[in-house]
Structures are given as C-alpha cells and as structure tokens.
Chain A
C-alpha cells in the first residue's frame, strides 16, 4: 500500500513491542505531520540511547557508557545491602517504594530450565564476586514470585550459603487493596506463614 521511506518507517515501528500494524501506521503519519526539528529530536534520542547507554560495570543496571549507574555512583547508598533483581525495570519498581537505600545487582534474566537458561547465562558469577569484594552483609533476593524467579532465588540461596552474608527473600503476600476471597491458595498460604505480630 505504501512505498519508500513511509513503508520503511511503518515496518520498523511495527516491530516494536505492543505496536500492531494499525498503531504503526498512525504513528508514522503523525511523524509525517510534525515539524522537522521534532522528528530530528526523536531520531537523535533513539541514536543516543543506543550509542551512550550500556550496562553498569558493577551492577548491570543501565548506565551511561563508561560510567557506573546512578545508584552505584551515589555515595549515600549503603554498600552492605545488595538487592538482586532480574531486570533493570525491577530497580525502578523497588526505587518507587523509597524504602531501599542499598545497592542492586541485576541478573539480566532468571533461571529457566525449560528454556535452557542456566546460571552461566546470568550475572551469577559477578554477584558472588561482589559479595566477597564489597563486604555485603545482606543479600535480598528480589526475583519475580513465579516459577523462574523462585528457582533463581533457591539457586542463589544455595550458592550464597557458604559465604558470610545474610540471605533474605522478599515476602509473598496479598496485594494491598485486594479482596481476601479472591486470593489464590499459594499466595494466601504464604501470607499466613509470613504473618506478623500486631502491637497496639
């Protein structure tokens, strides 16, 4: 239907996650309408993010090329507590709680025996090295509460066991604002186990 550069743009946009052919067409026509400088900024931002963003050499969070990430370069963050996550986006989620002042370690995935993803494909070796080298006192296993995340947490707990560090796992429980009657048995069972004493 379309040819040349417009076709090429629609095709490229259509490859992005969550964008179907209709949306790709709508965005492409929008780009066609906006001023040249706006289109230029969009193009430049896409190029810049590829050129200048890499992974933090310490924790594998996203970082500006050649630099440590924002968390690692912040001297106020507590280096004795390491929060282990699967993906840099999980750091954003934990940061939003404003309850964690330690540092992170991004595994870049989770163990998946069915897909053949083993420890060698993740940043496990680097984690074990960091725990020794940086004097961490606690490692919080903050992987997803699904099968892959649980497998990863159990594996890491086993690997970290011989090191002199406290290993903790984030709690499983009920989502705030939800109804008890809709809770699944596994989640509710774990919430019961993780109950806390209430003091008046």
Chain B
C-alpha cells in the first residue's frame, strides 16, 4: 500500500453498497482519480460534507491492490458555498464539473484544466459577479486546451479574412466561423463573435467583471454546442432548465 497526497475538485459521486460512495476527483497532479469514501453516507461520517461535488480539497489517498483508491483524510480548501446554495449558480457549477469529467482521464495529469476549473468555480462563487458568462467562457477555453481552438478571424472553410468577407455562421466541425458562401451550422451575430474572440483573446477578466452582454444567450448556446460537438455528447447540466428562474 502507498499513500498519495492530492489536491483536487470533487466532480461527482456514486453510491456504493450500504453507506459508501465512489468519489471522482479532478486532481492537479494525476488527472482524474476514483476513490472510495467509506461510510460517507452515514450522518456521523468523519468526512461529513467534505466530499460533496464542487468541493475543492486536499486528500490523502491509500492506493491498495484494487483499482479503486481509498480516501484516508480530506481537508477542504473551498466549499464554494455561494455556488452550492443558489440553484442557478449550482447548475452552472455542475456543468463545469460535467465538462471536466468528460475531458479528464485517469492517469493523464492535466494541471491546466484543473487550474481553469478552480478559477471558474471561484468566479462563479463571487456574489458580486454575474454568473452568466462563466460556463460559456470555460467551455470555449476548454476547446483551446484540447487543441480544438476555433478559427474566428477568417472563414474556417475558404480562408478569406474577416476584413474581406462577413463571418455569418459557426460550426466547430468546419473549424470555426464561416463566411456567407461557406455557411454551415448555426448563424452567428458579429457581436457574439466579438465576445468569443474576447474570451479566447485574453479579455476574459473584464467580460466576467461586467454585466453580461446583450448577446450572452447566443454566446452561451454557441459555446455549449461547440463543446458538445467536441465531446460528441449532449451536456446534461448545461441543458438543465432547473436553475433558470
């Protein structure tokens, strides 16, 4: 048996047996890790609420003979309580966890994805900020991490620059924005395209600090569709309407 110290975010949990749970964690140093938290469903468990999804934790894990590791100790770095206690923010937070779960792999460290997740959860937890743009920005930046950065300054199909043709459509399968003659996928407004450029061009901070732009809904559905196209899978949490008032 060996012990391992890890820092990570709890992505999801599954019930196991009478009182245990399997906890899936995006760790900084080892990629996705699955571990058993024994007795965590009992009300007097020593883990308490520490291993609930959305928790940012320091862990001490036993690596035994079986595939699953065992949680030995856990210390909370951040509960993201404001995310947890607001249905709208919680649903958005869960969509970040769902995408991270899809992108991260066991045995493949992805510290950049981990840092982006923690950063996005912090932004979502800030009660002074509007939460609307956090998840769409996370989805778009995740595409870049995955090497699937969309082309935004020229037509992804014919290559004509945005200074020559109007970019009027967006299709990740085609590589990004498209001109009128190459149009495929969904239509896109110049305003939404400008916001997407800003997110990927280093202007994320000001965007998240300001009230959401009028085209926020358009950017959100473009970003959701793009990450879904990349994952080849529909996102449940991002499509859930439960959090929307």
Contacts and interface: CB of A to CB of B under 8 A. Distances in A.
Chains A and B are bound partners: yes
A147 B93 CA distance: 11
Contacts of B245: 158
A175 interface: yes
Interface in A131-146: 145-146
B237 A118 contact: no
A105 to B, nearest CB: 19
B47 A114 contact: no
B89 to A, nearest CB: 10
Nearest to A172: B49
A155 B236 contact: no
B48 A155 contact: no
A114 B12 contact: yes
A114 B52 contact: no
A185 interface: yes
Given A114-B98, A175-B43, 17 more contacts: A111-B242, A113-B240, A113-B243, A114-B12, A114-B97, A114-B237, A118-B242, A146-B49, A151-B242, A154-B90, A178-B44, A182-B48, A183-B48, A184-B50, A186-B52, A186-B81, A187-B49
19 contacts: A18-B18, A114-B12, A115-B236, A118-B241, A118-B242, A145-B49, A146-B49, A147-B53, A147-B84, A150-B84, A154-B86, A158-B87, A184-B47, A184-B50, A185-B79, A186-B48, A186-B49, A186-B50, A187-B48
Interface in B222-245: 236-237, 240-243, 245
A150 B85 CA distance: 8
A155 B242 contact: yes
Interface of A: 18, 111, 113-116, 118-119, 145-147, 150-151, 154-155, 158, 175, 177-178, 182-187, 189
B107 interface: no
Contacts of A178: 44
A34 B90 CA distance: 54
Contact of B52 (A18, A119, A146, A177): A146
Contact of A118 (B87, B98, B240): B240
Contacts of A145: 49
Contacts of B207: none
A119 B242 contact: yes
Nearest to B237: A113
A66 to B, nearest CB: 32
Contacts of B17: 18
Interface in B54-98: 54, 76, 79, 81, 84-87, 90-91, 94-95, 97-98
Contacts of A189: 81
Contacts of A175: 43-44
